[in-house]
Amino acid sequence: MNDLRAMTKGKLPGSETGIEIRHTICDICTPGPQCGIDAYVKDGVVIKVEGTPGFPTNQGALCTKGAANRQYIYRPDRIRTPLRRVGKRGEGRFEPISWETAMEEIARGLNRVKETYGPESVAFMTGYPKWYRPWLQRLAFSFGSPNYFTESSTCHKSETMSWRLTYGCEMRQDILGMPEVLVGWGCNPLVSAYPMGRSYYQYKEQGGKVVIIDPRRTPTATQCTDLFIRPRTGTDGYLANTVARLIIENGWADMEFIQAHVHGFPAYREMVMGYTVEKAVEITGVPEEEIRELARLIGTAKKAIVQPSNGLSHHKNGLSTHRAVICLNALTGNVNKPGTLFPAWDTAADMSAGFRTYEGEFATERFPQKARPRVGAGRFPLWCEMFYEAQAMDLLRFWKAEESYPIRAMYAHGVNHRMYPESSGLLEMAGEMELVVAADLFMTDFCRHADIVLPACSSFERGEVKSYPGGYINYTSPAIAPLYESRDDVAIITMTANALGLDDPLLRAGYDISVKHIYRDVPLDLDEVKAAGLPSKVECGAGRDYFAAPLNTPTGKIELYSERIAKYEADYGLDPLPVFSDGFDCPPTAEFPMSLITGGRLTNAVHSRLHDVPWLRDLRPEPAADIHPEDARRLGIAQGDEICLVTRLGRIRVKANLSAISAPGEVNFYHGYREANVNEIIPKEHLDPYSGFPGYKQLRCRVEKAEVTM
């Protein structure tokens, strides 16, 4: 900590230049890295950014995206003032109004909908940004609506479900211990999570073996692996269960551990015995020797970690696949010992920092117990049982369903409709609302459909508390004043709570007071942490002993057979065992012979938000799909040709990028592009019945050379 300050101090350029270094964080990709940034500020303007030396996550480095922060925060389409719509929805004609007027109109509109239809008719929504979520959630609940939607309806929470169903809580790899074998199952951290990527290199340097399992030949797969296994997309459930069978047959299962800590082993064993290596080769396309080698590596290592990622969850069979993969850790007893898996702590802001806070209680204690059932409750009961959130992927159906109540208003922070399969449905829905409020940094197409648009500010312009693995807490101060008339999201939520006159003094008191409430057990003075401006260390004590108390599952054990899922077996057809099922949206046909994987991450993009940042866009200027050179040759397609990706729902026009990153027969395209939005051709009903997650990464498609337009 002291070293950290000393190092940074040495860099101060001196008062004669008028340049000051202020510490802030990068919020482009949250919450994993949340890299520390030294902002060089002159006359209130950020003139340069660097990584903060010694910062717990980025250790002074910045990625391509983070280095472009100036272009991001100074994007010319920043919303400057609160706006009121004057044109038709979507037309983009607005007039500036004051914050006071905006708040009066929002409160009047939301209260009118509440009185007419009930509080549930207001949807409180957020996209990818995470930092203000506990406040938004509390706002929804204090207002009386259980309809709080987040982008987590498509991101990570399916993994959380899978861990909790199986292990009772989320498990993370031991950051101190060193496994002999690390299996990154669908992990591409060299692109999607740099700190984790660094740890992969460390394992290798220390003699560990790294296995990557991915249908795409990613940078991680090529740069730091001992074994790269390449199944067809969505077939991992079959692979994992076959590996389980081999582990059991070879006597590598840890029977002592299973006896003591596992529920449902006989049923699980019977299920996996139905999986054969021959069929696995046929379904997954992985050669027999690789399947056997994978089983041997996991089965015989003294310490192994099988670590799955979000990529496995973006499938119609995602939750069961994820469960099939994580069951391998329990099967081999690789839990709760150094160099294996340990329980994660829900510290705050989606981070497991090794100490507890009251963020969860703050966000959910006002949940309206007597409200009508949330969106998704009827269709995804497991989701609704496990989280205080509605399932956003059911919103477009629910809104039109006859059995449901009407949704009449949307209060949205950081919502981008392009996240939703059949995205324009969300704009259509917005068009029929009595009130749509949208807070964003930029004038997005979703904002264009709002009645009131509010200018939010970036992480450089706000103060914010974050925690980091290793027991760090950081409380930033604004590096620059909010641009134009923008305000930070929590300030906007606080103003809204006050304008609505909610009976919730804590929420109405604003950020600093609620932060002190949330972090009240942290043995540090938060004012001092804030004054320091750099991460402070919290004494965390030893790690948690996972088995100290019964686990948070119905049986108190690790459940290979999930009793929680079993409740929904009869009515919803959910299987308590992690069985493999086909994850495609339709059967194979000659019309759609290829597979489409969407949303693998790019080093120069995060969803939709960086496509308009010139430095980053220049690195991959046009929306381009990766297609294997063999497929391209067969289809008469050359590098840079215009092609169409066609699903049974429609087509988008993109450029061809001939690349072996895609396997033959599979095509890979990125999401979030305005001019080629792949989610328009993904059916909104192509969802995992367990979690509600969309099958973004497994669709039938064909690729055509596009007709030349003049």
Ligand X SMILES: Nc1nc2c(c(=O)[nH]1)N[C@H]1C(S)=C(S)[C@@H](COP(=O)(O)OP(=O)(O)OC[C@H]3O[C@@H](n4cnc5c(=O)[nH]c(N)nc54)[C@H](O)[C@@H]3O)O[C@H]1N2
CB 627 within 8 A of CB 637: yes
Residue from 4, 21, 29, 262 touching ligand SF4 (CB under 6 A): that is: 29
Determine which helix (DSSP H) or strand (DSSP E) holds 55, and give its type and residue range.
Answer: none
Least separation in angstroms between residue 197's CB and ligand SF4 is: 10
Question: Any contact of residue 390 with ligand X (CB under 6 A)?
Answer: no
Residue from 253, 439, 479, 681 touching ligand X (CB under 6 A): that is: 439
- 299's CB contacts (< 8 A; 6+ apart) are 246, 247, 250, 252, 253, 332
Phi and psi torsions of 571, nearest 5°:
-85, -30
CB-count exposure of residue 204 (10 Å: 0-12, 13-18, 19+): middle
Indicate the residue whose CB is closest to ligand X: 599
Least separation in angstroms between residue 465's CB and ligand SF4 is: 16
Determine which helix (DSSP H) or strand (DSSP E) holds 88, and give its type and residue range.
Answer: none
- Our CB check for Mo ion shows the closer of 155 and 658 to be 155
Structure tokens at 517: 């409430």
Residue from 8, 24, 34, 321 touching ligand SF4 (CB under 6 A): that is: 34
Question: Any contact of residue 611 with ligand SF4 (CB under 6 A)?
Answer: no
- CA angle 581/583/587 to nearest 5° reads 100
Residue from 379, 609, 684, 702 touching ligand X (CB under 6 A): that is: 609
- Region of 58-66, 103-111, 140-148, 339-347 interacting with ligand SF4 (CB under 6 A): 58-66
- Region of 149-157, 248-256, 560-568, 631-639 interacting with Mo ion (CB under 5 A): 149-157
CA separation for the pair 5, 534 (Å, rounded): 7
Least separation in angstroms between residue 29's CB and ligand SF4 is: 3
- The size of the interface with ligand SF4 (CB under 6 A), counted in residues, is 12
Structure tokens at 117: 């239809």
What is the separation, in whole angstroms, between the first and last Cα of the chain?
62
- The size of the interface with Mo ion (CB under 5 A), counted in residues, is 1
Residue from 154, 334, 476, 657 touching ligand X (CB under 6 A): that is: 154
Least separation in angstroms between residue 103's CB and ligand SF4 is: 32
Structure tokens at 122: 């207001």
Residue from 307, 608, 647, 657 touching ligand X (CB under 6 A): that is: 608
Residue from 24, 58, 121, 329 touching ligand SF4 (CB under 6 A): that is: 58
Question: Any contact of residue 155 with Mo ion (CB under 5 A)?
Answer: yes
- Our CB check for Mo ion shows the closer of 535 and 672 to be 672
CA separation for the pair 143, 145 (Å, rounded): 6
Question: Any contact of residue 224 with ligand X (CB under 6 A)?
Answer: no
Phi and psi torsions of 307, nearest 5°:
-115, 110
Question: Any contact of residue 598 with ligand X (CB under 6 A)?
Answer: yes
Least separation in angstroms between residue 349's CB and ligand SF4 is: 13
Least separation in angstroms between residue 155's CB and Mo ion is: 3
Question: Any contact of residue 246 with ligand X (CB under 6 A)?
Answer: no
CB-count exposure of residue 246 (10 Å: 0-12, 13-18, 19+): buried
Question: Any contact of residue 392 with Mo ion (CB under 5 A)?
Answer: no
Question: Any contact of residue 187 with Mo ion (CB under 5 A)?
Answer: no
Least separation in angstroms between residue 289's CB and ligand SF4 is: 37
| DSSP code per residue over 437-503 | EEEESB--HHHHT-SEEEEB--GGGS--EEEETTTEEEE---SSPPSTT-B-HHHHHHHHHHHHT-S
Structure tokens at 244: 């389980």
CB 411 within 8 A of CB 489: no
Q: Which of the choices Mo ion, ligand X, ligand SF4, none does residue 164 contact, using the CB cut-off of 5 to 8 A by kind?
A: none
CA separation for the pair 115, 21 (Å, rounded): 50
Question: Any contact of residue 194 with ligand SF4 (CB under 6 A)?
Answer: yes
Residue from 4, 21, 24, 35 touching ligand SF4 (CB under 6 A): that is: 35
Helix/strand/coil for 553: coil
- Our CB check for Mo ion shows the closer of 330 and 349 to be 349
Which regions of 193-329 does DSSP assign to beta strands (E)? 209-213, 227-229, 262-263, 304-308
- CA angle 550/377/447 to nearest 5° reads 115
Question: Any contact of residue 28 with Mo ion (CB under 5 A)?
Answer: no
Question: Any contact of residue 422 with ligand X (CB under 6 A)?
Answer: no
Which residues bind to ligand SF4, rule: CB under 6 A? 26, 28-29, 33-35, 58, 62-63, 65-66, 194
Which residues bind to ligand X, rule: CB under 6 A? 29, 127-129, 151, 154-156, 185-188, 191-193, 213-216, 218, 231, 233-234, 236, 309-312, 314-315, 413-414, 416, 418-419, 439-442, 444, 456, 489, 597-603, 605-609, 671-672, 678-679, 696-697
Which residues bind to Mo ion, rule: CB under 5 A? 155
